[in-house]
Amino acid sequence: MLARLTATHHLDRADILTRCLLALRRDFRRPLLTWFKELFVSLQPTRAERLARQAELTELLAHPLPLVVNLAIEQLKDVWPEPGFALAPLLHYADTLLLRPDLKTGLKTLLAGLAKLPRQDAAHAPAVARLLAAALAHPDATVQERAAKGLADLLAAKKPLLPPADTTETLATLADQAELLGAAARTALAPWLAAPTPAPAADAPAAYAPRTQFVPDISPATAIAPVADWHELLFLTGQVLRHDAPAALERWLDGLLRLHEQLPEGYAAQLEPYLVQALPFLQGKSGAQAEAILAGNSTQGHAGLAEALLLSWHAGFRRLRVAKVPLLGRHLASDPLVTLEQQRLSFAEELLHRGISLPLLSTPSHAPYWVTPTALIIRLLAYEQAQQEPNAADLVVALARTAHAYPAEAEAALTKLPELRHEGLRELLHWLLSPDAAALPATVGNPKSLLRQFTERLARLLPGAVALPSSITEALPWLWAVAARTKYPEGNFPELTGLTPNACPGVVQPWQPRWELQAQAKSYVDKWKPGQPTITERWTKLRLLPAGAPGALPNSLLLYSAHATQLLTQQPYWHQLALAFEYPFLQALLPHYPAPLQWHALRVAAVRNEADATSRDILTQALHGLLLPGTALDEPASLLLAVGLVHYAPTCRALAQEVLLAAVVHQRLVPTALGRALGQLLAADYAPVARLADALPQLRAISPEADDALRQTLDVLLPELPALPPRNLRKLLEAYADLVARTGRAVPPAVQGRLADWSQTATLKKITASLRQPV
């Protein structure tokens, strides 16, 4: 309508053009910016009109959105050769654009236009040469290629365009950037690049291999310092209420238990600002109103556990609150592991209520969440000396966190173990800490007590009920199941067959679901478009095929089976929302074997590669957990990394790239598993090949080991792709060719066979021919 009114001179054309450009400078949302862009383009401004508005167009180059920057470049590309155009502002803004990874097409247009300037006026040659050389560091190979061709034309001119000093500076920049250049850019600049120094024949190329065994770092450098005094405990309270740091929560709990008898008089008044932080609706309330609010149960979910403990602390622990925090409700669906966490924190509250200064058995002694064997034995002895029965939930988390593979600590703990009076715990810990112990004792399969038989039948009749052990002796069989899975995550334990009424995953055998990719389609009539067309939406669904039928969890202590038995049919949205916030805390409970939680994250958040913030947040939290040292990435962890590398969200892809490089450094990456997962995702069109191809240039040339790990990954990935070449395959093959050249390895036969299929495509003949030649 506006375009028509402008064409009929009812509106001032010049004013509309100027107002569009002024609006595009604003920090509007993308849909509104798109509307102004389309209006400006629909008016088809002439070259003279654009030249008159060169200042406004040039300023758009500083906009953070590629949509606006690309528009400005497109409108300026045929204007800057004009005599009245001021080049200085353009060159200034161009310098800030060259390394933006979100700009590709616009940058190529800009570089192509800049390369023509020295032919019109040689005075521009030094500035253009510096810009083209700087663009060689861009992560995209096609941008590098465009900059390299422009530099090659500039350096190969029959009449020298660059002064000698600028030529020397340009060649020095080329030498610095040589290792980061893609194959196409290196070919274009080959005459000016020094030949690589051949490596000595005796030196074999660097080879990457994943670690076979992981031992946690138990040293003074990773020891966690306890809370020093009341002031630190008070400061830590604010961090805990932000609900984003599991380590802070663990230190806070430990500080409460140790320093409770040393708190100053009137400490409750100093806690009041934190009460308002936990319950914002307390702000401005009078004394009677505040007391009425505090008397009720105003907290819920995992975050509500710490908030309830704070409220209890403020009241002097006269009333127990943590056990009453709801975890399930109309708009609430916490993870099943939060039940275990609630039992643990409820036990801590009970100790504080009774004035008993004993630490939780599961408090980490070393970062991130490890409990040393000696610390566990010393704490158990303290419980026996105080005649206090340990809490089963606390003990099972302590077993899951015990660094049993650290030889010196395990040996020291075994020498102290005979002092423990509880025979059942002594036998369990001796098996867990002995490096040569493999088979479980036959006594683990003792007949069940009448109480356990009754509670298991009750659990089958009432799916929401979970059987809880009445004592540590009653809980021993479940503790054995968790200890066995902690020590041997992939082991089979037939001795535990009689422990559960059904074949509960994660007890006798590990939970190892299969996954598949299914093509999905949905058609609907768009009634808002002219003609009401039928729109068909297509996508690929990642589906987990669980091993074993979901059902009631036999016992809440089976923390490795909680997700295998969980049904996702009830309140999936609220569970997703809760999991996005709870994931770091749940992962802190499973440092040895997080695979069940990772499988659960995949079936909840990776079903479809779409623009969904909640799914993105869950995957981001799961990927953060892979940054630290640990065991080699198993199937769920490798699939998580593969999904992250091709995710729709740039932030998720960037984090996955960081995880990949960290996994190489820590020798956690398993190239075979990652390559197979990536190949299956790309072959099923779960994500476009371009997402992975664009990431590879940023990952290469970091280290020889990283190059070899990437090469091994692509060795497995490429045969998984179909014989009909997917789009953007050439970019992926160019990255692979560069890695093959860097590592000096031969192309395996499986890849050679797939290259033969692709060589029939015209756009791939050159790259496939180069790869099929001997290295």
Nearest CA among 124, 122, 198, 113 for reference residue 147: 113
Assess contact for 688 and 727: CB atoms under 8 A.
yes
| Percent of the chain whose pLDDT exceeds 90 | 48
Which of 47-56, 75-84, 256-265, 455-464 is predicted with the least confidence, judged by mean pLDDT?
455-464
pTM of the model: 0.84
Residue 305 class from Cβ within 10 Å (0-12 exposed, 13-18 middle, 19+ buried)?
Answer: buried
Determine the average pLDDT of the residues in 419-448: 83
- Given a cut of 90, whether residue 186 has pLDDT beyond it is no
Counting residues of the chain whose pLDDT is more than 70, the rounded percentage is 92
- Residue 130 CA: distances (Å) to CA of 93, 135, 153: 14, 9, 14
Check residue 523 and report its DSSP letter: E
User: Residues 735-739: what's their mean pLDDT?
Assistant: 91
Least trusted range by pLDDT, from 77-81, 293-297, 395-399, 615-619 = 293-297
Closest by CA position to 246, among listed 586, 562, 601: 586
Q: In this model, does residue 718 exceed pLDDT 70?
A: yes
Q: Which of 359, 368, 424, 404 is nearest to 386 (CA)?
A: 359
Q: If you compute the radius of gyration of the chain from its CA atoms, what whole number of angstroms results?
A: 32
| Lowest-pLDDT range of 239-253, 267-281, 536-550 | 536-550
How far CA 315 is from CA of 236, 352, 355, in Å, comes to 19, 12, 14
Q: Pick the residue with more confidence: 4 or 242?
A: 242
* pLDDT for residue 225: 95
Q: Regarding predicted confidence, which is higher, 742 or 502?
A: 742
Question: Can you tell me the distance from the alpha carbon of 273 to that of 255, in angstroms, rounded to the nearest whole number?
Answer: 19
Average the pLDDT over 216-231 and give the result. Answer: 94
Lowest mean pLDDT among 113-127, 188-202, 444-458, 631-645: 444-458
Q: Is the pLDDT of residue 359 over 90?
A: yes
Q: Which of 55-64, 83-92, 334-343, 443-452 has the lowest mean pLDDT?
A: 443-452
Quickly list DSSP for 319-386. Answer: S--GGG---EETTEE--THHHHHHHHHHHHHHHHHHT-----TT--SBTTTBB-HHHHHHHHHHHHHT
Q: Where are the alpha helices (DSSP H) in 464-571?
A: 472-487
**In contact, 218 and 403? CB cutoff 8 Å:** yes
Tens digit of each residue's pLDDT (9 = 90 or more) over 317-328: 999 999 999 998
Which region among 122-126, 173-177, 195-199, 550-554 has the lowest average model confidence (pLDDT)?
195-199
Residue keyed to tokens 């810009």: 131
Tell me what the mean pLDDT of segment 192-215 comes to: 70
Q: How far is CA 150 from CA 18, 68, 134, 180, 505, in A?
A: 34, 25, 12, 18, 61
Check whether 117 has a pLDDT greater than 80. Answer: yes
Residue 706 has a pLDDT of 94
Give the per-residue pLDDT at 450: 40
- 3-state per-residue secondary structure call for 189-248: CHHHCCCCCCCCCCCCCCCCCCCCCCCCCCCCCCECCCCCCHHHHHHHHHHHHCCCCHHH
State residue 600's pLDDT score: 93
Q: For position 652, what pLDDT does the model report?
A: 94
Burial track 276-285 (b if 16+ CB lie within 10 A, e otherwise): ebbbeebeee
Q: How far is CA 126 from CA 105, 131, 183, 470, in A?
A: 24, 9, 26, 81
**Cβ neighbours, 10 Å, residue 322:** 24
Please give the pLDDT value at position 46.
87
Are the C-beta atoms of residues 652 and 616 closer than 8 Å to each other? yes
pLDDT greater at residue 93 or residue 359: 359
Distance of alpha carbon 51 from alpha carbon 67, whole angstroms: 21
What's the rounded Cα separation, in Å, for the pair 335 and 576? 9
Distance CA 13, CA 8 (A): 10
The tokens 């020590």 sit on which residue? Answer: 487
- Answer whether 607's CB lies under 8 Å from 541's CB: yes
Cα 251 from Cα 189, distance rounded (Å)? 57
Mean local confidence (pLDDT), 673-701: 93
CA–CA distance, 214 with 406 (Å, rounded to integer): 9
Euclidean distance between CA atoms 428 and 418, whole angstroms: 12
Look at 676 and 702; give whichever has higher pLDDT.
676
Mean pLDDT value of segment 507-535: 87
> Phi/psi at 127 (nearest 5 deg)?
-65, -40
Q: Measured at the alpha carbon of residue 608, what is the angle toward residues 607 and 612, in degrees to the nearest 5? A: 110
Model confidence band, residue 169 (pLDDT cutoffs 50, 70, 90): confident
- Tell me the pLDDT band of 463, cut-offs 50, 70 and 90: very low
Q: What is the pLDDT of residue 320?
A: 93
Per-residue pLDDT at 700 exceeds 90: no
Residue 537 backbone phi and psi in degrees, to 5: -100, 130
- Residues 218 and 650: their CA atoms lie apart, in Å, by 36
What confidence score (pLDDT) does residue 614 get? 86
Q: What is the enclosing helix (H) or strand (E) of 76?
A: helix 66-76
What is the CATH topology of the domain spanning 2-192? Answer: 1.25.40
Which alpha helices (DSSP H) does 607-703 contain, by range? 613-624, 635-645, 650-665, 671-683, 689-699
CA 711 – CA 703 distance, rounded (Å): 12
Instruction: Give 368 or 153, the one with higher predicted confidence.
Output: 368
Name the 3-class secondary structure at 587: helix
pLDDT surpasses 60 at 6? yes
Cβ density class 406-418: b for 16+ within 10 Å, e for less: beebbebbbeebe
**pLDDT of 659 higher than 50:** yes
The domain segmentation of the chain, as residue ranges, is: 2-192, 224-357, 359-437, 568-772
The pLDDT, as a whole number, for residue 455 is 52
Cα–Cα distance for residue pair 341/246, rounded to 1 Å: 12
> Given its phi and psi angles, is residue 9 left (phi above 0), alpha (psi -120 to 50 degrees) or beta?
left
Q: Of 28-32, 550-554, 566-570, 700-704, where does mean pLDDT reach its minimum?
A: 566-570
Q: Of 299, 360, 310, 294, which is closest to residue 334 (Cα–Cα)?
A: 299
pLDDT recorded at residue 550: 58
pLDDT tens per residue across span 582-608: 999 999 999 999 999 999 999 999 888
Spatial CA neighbour of 373 closest among 320, 425, 309: 425
Half-sphere exposure of 744 (CA within 13 A, CB side): 10
Calculate the average pLDDT of the chain.
87
Q: Does residue 464 register a pLDDT over 50?
A: no
pLDDT at 484 over 80: yes
Query: What mean pLDDT do residues 213-236 have?
Result: 94
Give me the residues paired with residue 538 across strands.
521
Q: How many CA atoms lie within 13 A of 500 on its CB side?
A: 27
